Amino acid sequence: MTILDIHRILKKLPHRYPFLLIDRVVELDKGKRIKAIKNVTINEPFFSGHFPRRPVMPGVLMIEALAQAAALLSFESLGEQLDDDAVVYFVGIDGARFKRPVEPGDQLVLEAWMERAKAGIYKYKVRASVDGDTAVEAQLMCTVRKIN
């Protein structure tokens, strides 16, 4: 098992504030699965507008956090690091189901299982939970592309 702190995450992912949505990786089994943490605080910039009287984390950002966890799993599994000439793109999101709201003070546990890596397309089963209760689950597909 490998554990990544914020310093190693910053070396692997191109995302920065306010779009870096992973604070720590607590479990990583290369080629198989990852478990990461996102500490959700009232200081997140999206809470001022989503929603002012009842702040909840937007579902699309939960999916983005899961995609970042999946990307870390891929990079660690392949022994690669994203360089300035490459970007990770979504190519599909299937079966997304939102089961509970995520609020300030929650710790979002992000899990991704690599289901397939073929012809440059990666497929993952993903789940985010709070205190063991599923917040969202889906299947994600992405690819790495070189940019000029």
Catalytic annotation, residues: 50
DSSP code at position 23: -
Residue 77 burial (10 A CB sphere; 0-12, 13-18, 19+): middle
CB 93 within 8 A of CB 37: no
Residue with tokens 């956090």: 65
CB 41 within 8 A of CB 14: no
* Cα separation, 140 vs 131, whole angstroms: 23
Instruction: Show the DSSP H helices in 1-91 as ranges.
Output: 6-12, 59-78
